[in-house]
């Protein structure tokens, strides 16, 4: 509904680029967008008929704010920063997008390999992206076995076992010659660019040699490496054998007020994967597709070539440095565009098949809000749990759910003070105070609801913390029956709301409860393991701070440390110190 307030605000909008923030009657941001022309873009929401999620969003808009910038590129950067700060209810397009993994090779005479999720660090060469982490990890394992790359993340003071096996150049004791490392770099790059013939020949020779010596276990390892190379480099059926240009192929499809954008990723002539994003239709199709692509390339590798049908794609040549846009009329590239369009249409099919699931979540959250008599539907919920063992290694954990789904980027961990270790009430006061004091200081948005596990005492602890810092957020707890089974919800007044254990709302709450338990316990186990490993090092002659840190990096758990022999420990420590540590680890226990 176009109110008088909105009419006045629209009349004052400038014909300039900027970012707008739609707000509800409680002054809460529910949508953030950017525009090349603020007046034209924002007025479209209210002066044209809308449907679907856009109509739902517009129905909740009470007023809006805007920020003028000097260019469209600046508005894009500002929009992304604001979305990641406020997580508005209706900005759900590409927030949780994931990245394909790359293999990163460290530059500057230091051949170290690792997996990376972006290609922005200029200290590395990047290869990929790869179809998944397992393929990239296996490829690195093969490279580390074949080539004398550095294996240690931090260079130790003495050579390790890999140097003795000829699998490391030992930069810890040798100054690496430039010619030697340049040759190594070229061989690794050659492999990662698809020429694996030499490496496969070496591995096949070693496999046959091990087999002739009846060392079938070693031969099987070499066979595994050969299979991994074939899998990583020849797995895909969609392949361009002669054209290795890094390219993305773009297409879209429309149906029933929704648009689907498909991006096919080709690297080294191989189709590595696809990204499909379905959003509610709004405004001109070319403008919306361009907005989505700008958002996509803000955290994905930019290819050398982008292929599609839409003429507006040529605008990307100005927005993205070094990109060439092709609009094919025939031939192989047009076939690739047709394939992308097929994926876009299938994306719409999948969306309409799964849209009921999202609608179900929204309905369940509305039901939850009605049960607790909340003013607003709790689309964003944060849950807390604490974990300790007889007061040792106390930790707190928080998980966040948005629209009924876990938002893992917003999970948080807390080391708790030993003063209140074992005191669940004051531990909750501490973790809640720290969480929302920070959000308050940084001016970030609060959740619609806080859920605690532990009944009324935990609810009161949460409210005490919020009152101390001057923050108001609805709080409820998950209470248990006499059999220690979760039975329903409890509010700050002690009113209980049993939930049918067979209802979908109950299962949604149980998923949330299980997730915060899992996150807290995993964090506690890891911290306790570190603490136990650290305490074992006490009273061992010759183990100073640096050597303890070195051991903790190589042996993060008790089990890994107990499994180390004196010979292995002596790779990191002087032999007398390694023997003392080994004897302490394996000393007979007193009854």
Query: How confident is the model at residue 427, as a pLDDT?
Result: 86
Asked if 265 and 273 count as a contact pair (C-beta separation under 8 A), the reply is yes
Q: So what's the architecture of 537-585 in CATH?
A: Orthogonal Bundle (1.10)
The fold of 247-351 is Nucleotidyltransferase; domain 5 (3.30.420)
Q: Supply the CATH classification number for the domain 4-86.
A: 3.40.1440.10
| Distance of alpha carbon 52 from alpha carbon 281, whole angstroms | 9
State the span(s) of the chain assigned CATH 3.40.1440.10: 4-86
| Distance of alpha carbon 233 from alpha carbon 194, whole angstroms | 7
Banded pLDDT at 354 (limits 50, 70, 90): low
Mean pLDDT of all residues in 222-230: 76
Convert the pLDDT of each residue in 418-475 to its tens digit: 565 557 888 899 999 999 999 998 888 899 999 998 789 999 999 999 999 999 999 9
Q: Quick one: which of 5, 35, 30, 1 has its CA closest to 20?
A: 35
Most confident of 301-315, 412-426, 467-481, 534-548: 467-481
State the span(s) of the chain assigned CATH 3.30.420.340: 380-528
Work out the percent of the chain whose per-residue pLDDT is above 70: 81
What is the DSSP code string of 93-161? SSTT-----EEEEE-SS--BEEEES-S--TTEEEE---S-HHHHHHHHHHHHHHS--B--SS--SS--H
Query: How confident is the model at residue 569, as a pLDDT?
Result: 81
pLDDT at 143 over 60: yes
Query: How confident is the model at residue 330, as a pLDDT?
Result: 87
Asked if 542 and 583 count as a contact pair (C-beta separation under 8 A), the reply is no
pLDDT at 342 over 80: yes
Q: Which residue has the higher pLDDT, 167 or 187?
A: 187
> In Å, how far from its chain's centre is CA 454?
30
Q: Which residue has the higher pLDDT, 385 or 544?
A: 385
Query: How confident is the model at residue 558, as a pLDDT?
Result: 66
Convert the pLDDT of each residue in 376-423 to its tens digit: 889 899 999 887 554 455 788 899 998 888 888 889 988 877 565 557
Q: Which residues have CB under 8 Å from 290's CB, separation 6+? A: 312, 313, 315, 316
Asked if 475 and 437 count as a contact pair (C-beta separation under 8 A), the reply is no
257-261: long-range contacts (C-beta < 8 A, 24 or more apart)? 257/51, 257/52, 257/54, 257/281, 258/52, 258/348, 258/351, 258/352, 259/285, 259/288, 259/289, 260/344, 260/345, 260/347, 260/348, 260/351, 261/289, 261/292, 261/293, 261/344
Query: How confident is the model at residue 235, as a pLDDT?
Result: 39
Most confident of 146-150, 412-416, 524-528, 529-533: 412-416
| Cα angle for residues 479, 446, 412 (degrees, 5° grid) | 70
Q: Which residue has the higher pLDDT, 416 or 243?
A: 416
Q: Judging by beta carbons within 10 Å of its beta carbon (0-12, 13-18, 19+), is residue 274 exposed, middle or buried?
A: middle
Instruction: Please give the model's pTM, rounded to 2 decimal places.
Output: 0.48
Query: How confident is the model at residue 239, as a pLDDT?
Result: 45
Mean pLDDT of all residues in 36-65: 86
Work out the percent of the chain whose per-residue pLDDT is above 90: 16
Convert the pLDDT of each residue in 259-293 to its tens digit: 899 998 887 676 666 788 888 787 788 888 888 88
Superfamily of the domain at 380-528: UvrC, RNAse H endonuclease domain (3.30.420.340)
State the span(s) of the chain assigned CATH 1.10.150: 537-585
């Amino acid at each position: 509904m176009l109110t008088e307030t909105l009419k006045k605000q629209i009349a004052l909008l400038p014909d300039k680029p900027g970012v707008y923030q739609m707000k509800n009657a409680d002054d809460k941001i529910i949508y953030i967008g950017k525009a090349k022309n603020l007046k034209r873009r924002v007025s479209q929401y209210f002066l044209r008929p809308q449907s679907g999620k856009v109509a739902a969003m517009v129905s909740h808009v009470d007023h809006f704010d805007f920020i003028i910038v000097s260019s469209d590129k600046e508005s894009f950067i500002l929009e992304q920063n604001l979305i990641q700060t406020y997580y508005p209810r209706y900005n759900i397009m590409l927030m949780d997008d994931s990245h394909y993994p790359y293999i990163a090779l460290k530059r500057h005479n230091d051949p170290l390999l690792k997996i990376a999720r972006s290609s922005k660090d200029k200290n590395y060469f990047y290869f990929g992206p790869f179809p998944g982490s397992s393929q990239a990890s296996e490829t690195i394992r093969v490279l580390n076995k074949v080539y004398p790359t550095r294996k240690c993340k931090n260079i130790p003071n003495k050579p390790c076992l890999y140097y003795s096996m000829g699998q490391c150049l030992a930069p810890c004791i040798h100054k690496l010659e430039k010619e030697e490392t340049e040759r190594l770099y070229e061989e690794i790059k050659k492999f990662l660019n698809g020429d694996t013939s030499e490496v496969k020949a070496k591995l096949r020779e070693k496999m046959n040699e091990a087999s002739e010596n009846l060392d079938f276990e070693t031969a099987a390892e070499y066979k595994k490496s050969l299979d991994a190379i074939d899998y990583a480099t020849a797995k895909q059926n969609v392949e361009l054998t002669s054209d290795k240009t890094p390219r993305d192929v773009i297409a879209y499809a429309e149906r029933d007020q929704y648009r689907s954008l498909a991006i096919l990723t080709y690297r080294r002539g191989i189709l590595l994967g696809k990204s499909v994003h379905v959003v509610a239709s709004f405004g001109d199709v070319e403008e919306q597709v361009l907005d989505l692509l700008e958002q996509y390339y803000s955290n994905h590798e930019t290819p050398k070539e982008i292929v599609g049908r839409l003429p507006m794609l040529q605008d990307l040549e100005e927005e993205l440095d070094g990109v060439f846009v092709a609009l094919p009329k025939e031939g192989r590239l047009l076939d690739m565009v047709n394939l992308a369009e097929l994926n876009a249409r299938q994306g719409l099919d999948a969306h309409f098949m799964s849209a009921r699931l999202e609608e179900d979540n929204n309905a369940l959250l509305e039901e939850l809000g009605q049960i607790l008599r909340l003013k607003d539907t709790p689309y964003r919920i944060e849950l807390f749990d604490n974990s300790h063992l007889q007061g040792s290694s106390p930790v707190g954990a928080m998980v966040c759910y948005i629209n009924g789904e876990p938002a893992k980027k917003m999970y948080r961990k807390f080391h708790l003070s030993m003063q209140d270790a074992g005191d669940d009430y004051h531990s909750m006061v501490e973790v809640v105070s720290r969480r929302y004091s920070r959000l308050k200081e940084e001016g970030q948005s609060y959740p619609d609801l806080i859920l605690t596990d532990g009944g009324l005492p935990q609810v009161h602890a949460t409210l005490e913390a919020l009152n101390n810092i001057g923050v108001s957020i609805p709080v409820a707890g998950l209470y248990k029956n006499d059999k220690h089974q979760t039975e329903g919800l409890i509010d700050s007044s002690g009113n209980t709301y049993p939930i049918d254990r067979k209802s979908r709302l109950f299962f949604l709450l149980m998923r949330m409860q299980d997730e915060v338990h899992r996150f807290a316990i995993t964090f506690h186990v890891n911290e306790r393991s570190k603490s136990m490993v650290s305490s074992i090092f006490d009273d061992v002659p010759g183990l100073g701070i640096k050597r303890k840190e070195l051991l903790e990096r190589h042996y993060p758990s008790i089990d890994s440390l107990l499994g180390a022999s004196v010979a292995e420990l002596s790779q990191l420590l002087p032999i007398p110190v390694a023997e003392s540590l080994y004897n302490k680890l394996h000393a007979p226990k007193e009854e």
